[in-house]
Amino acid sequence: MISITPESRYNSLIDLRKGEIGREIFSSRDIYEEELEKVFTRAWLFVGHESQIPEPGDFFSSRMGGESVILARDKKRKVHVFLNSCRHRGMKVCQYDHGNTQLFTCPYHSWSYTTDGKLFGVPQFKSLYEGCMEKEAWSLIEVPRMETYKGTVWASWDKDAPDLLTYLGDAKTHLDLALDCRDGREGGSEVLFGVHKWIIPCNWKFAAENFLGDTYHNVSHRSVDLIGIGPSAEAGVKGRRDNEMEKARHVWVNFPAGHGVHSAIMPEDWEFLNTYQNNPVVAEYFREAHAKRKERLGAERHRLIPFVGTIYPNVSFHGNQPRNLCVWHPHGPESTEAWRFFLVDADAPQEVKDFLRSYYMRYSGPAGMTEQDDMENWNYATAGSRGVIAKRYPYNYTQSLGRVGTDGPVAGNVSLQVSEENPRQFYRRWRDYMNGADWDTLLGRRDAGPASIAG
């Protein structure tokens, strides 16, 4: 009798030598449950931005994998990430999306916790619990690893996880420009008030994969461009902007930990052609910001423009305008809760922030023109992964198989043409997590090279 070990199951579902991936990883309930355990309790996950909790007592309810967590700033201004679950019977101690509080009070039996997580109040403690329970032992459950980076807050449930910068590796270069294209000086970036949250009937990996640099799907957005209502379609600007982009050198880059980006190296004298020309204040702001960016980053670094990327497993970003982070929270094998955080320069004039708010909403989020195109694809792709007959046939991931190198113009495994090397690397790591690999493997310290060659 042949036994199917988890390892042999995932090795056969992810066949990178052939460039084939089994459909069931996008729809199976048991694989989904296993992902929550094996991927989402280990990888670094984005939980929020410091600008959302500037003052002591501020909190923002977030998620890690399938679970609710609280991002909080305590009285001493220290940032914490707690599981949003009472130690008594598990009720959510924080019912609000965001706010300010001195205590998190559980609505069930009223146990209360301080903003640094300590159990503070227990009704009728003296008569019911004294001598039976040590309050100190029943604090909120706090993540063992939490780090902040350029305003972003990340956490991992794995105490042995590498530090965040090691985990990001060279993907940091691209992410940096998305998080704060002014390189952390001046006021940095802030999240525009109001995180967009919505549920998509798709597997989370379709969304994460799309942002690894699936430029190949741009045909999906053709209708938005054709009718001139897309964010890049302002009369006279789009054509010139397209010319700039054609002169750019495009790179699709993946990194050992499973991250991937699509960026462009612009011509030396590239000019920023923004789409805000119908608002002189905004247009002027971006003209100046562009010039200052060049001054600060230096001519070479200024040429790098990150379009999109995914930090493994489920944090994607747009790196140029619009700048945002999107988290694809797993919500079920065929359900994803998307949260989009829009970034603006913290010290930009209010008029610029207001303009960007409507610009971003037109572009991304549940009502965004381009996002709707993408969601439709992911919805049907998820349904197409479920059928009894369909599941017998793997998906094709052979695009540009083997055409990748490490001697490109930027660090990482670089493709100079549209390529599925980034998703191949992503799924190689996904397979490693599902096989319970150690951190040396998950960081690529034991690999033989690009995913299309090493298998």
18 binds, among ligand FES, Fe ion, none (CB under 5 to 8 A by kind): none
- In DSSP terms, 142 is beta-bridged to 82
374 binds, among Fe ion, ligand FES, none (CB under 5 to 8 A by kind): Fe ion
For ligand FES, the closer CB: 44 or 111: 111
Asked if 101 and 57 count as a contact pair (C-beta separation under 8 A), the reply is: yes
Asked if 210 and 379 count as a contact pair (C-beta separation under 8 A), the reply is: no
x-marked contacts with ligand FES along 63-102 as a string, rule CB under 6 A: -----------------------x-xx-x-----------
Residue 374 touches Fe ion, criterion: CB under 5 A: yes
Smallest gap, in angstroms, from Cβ of residue 103 to ligand FES?
12
Region from 192-200, 297-305, 327-335, 371-379 binding Fe ion, contact rule CB under 5 A: 371-379
Tell me the residue ranges of DSSP E strands in 202-247.
none
Asked if 202 and 32 count as a contact pair (C-beta separation under 8 A), the reply is: no
CB atoms within 10 A of CB 363: 22
Task: Give residue for tokens 């902007």.
Answer: 241
Asked if 250 and 264 count as a contact pair (C-beta separation under 8 A), the reply is: yes
Smallest gap, in angstroms, from Cβ of residue 76 to ligand FES?
25
For ligand FES, the closer CB: 120 or 395: 120
| Token couple for 78 | 């220290």
- Which SS3 state, helix, strand or coil, does residue 229 take? coil
1-30 residues near ligand FES, rule: CB under 6 A: none
| Token couple for 281 | 């204040």
Smallest gap, in angstroms, from Cβ of residue 108 to ligand FES?
4
* CB proximity list for 49: less than 8 A, separation 6 or greater: 151, 152, 153, 189, 190, 191, 325, 341, 343
* Residue of 70, 84, 75 lying closest to 57 (CA atoms): 75
Residue 209 touches Fe ion, criterion: CB under 5 A: no
For Fe ion, the closer CB: 170 or 214: 214
Region from 43-51, 232-240, 373-381, 404-412 binding Fe ion, contact rule CB under 5 A: 373-381
88 binds, among Fe ion, ligand FES, none (CB under 5 to 8 A by kind): ligand FES
Asked if 286 and 276 count as a contact pair (C-beta separation under 8 A), the reply is: yes
Q: Return d(Cα 48, Cα 410) in angstroms, integer.
A: 28
For ligand FES, the closer CB: 86 or 442: 86
For ligand FES, the closer CB: 78 or 89: 89
Q: Return d(Cα 336, Cα 201) in angstroms, integer.
A: 6
Q: Return d(Cα 409, Cα 239) in angstroms, integer.
A: 27
Q: Return d(Cα 218, Cα 392) in angstroms, integer.
A: 28
x-marked contacts with ligand FES along 102-121 as a string, rule CB under 6 A: ----x-xxxx----------
185-204 residues near ligand FES, rule: CB under 6 A: none
For Fe ion, the closer CB: 365 or 444: 365
Chain residues binding ligand FES by CB under 6 A are 86, 88-89, 91, 106, 108-111
Chain residues binding Fe ion by CB under 5 A are 374
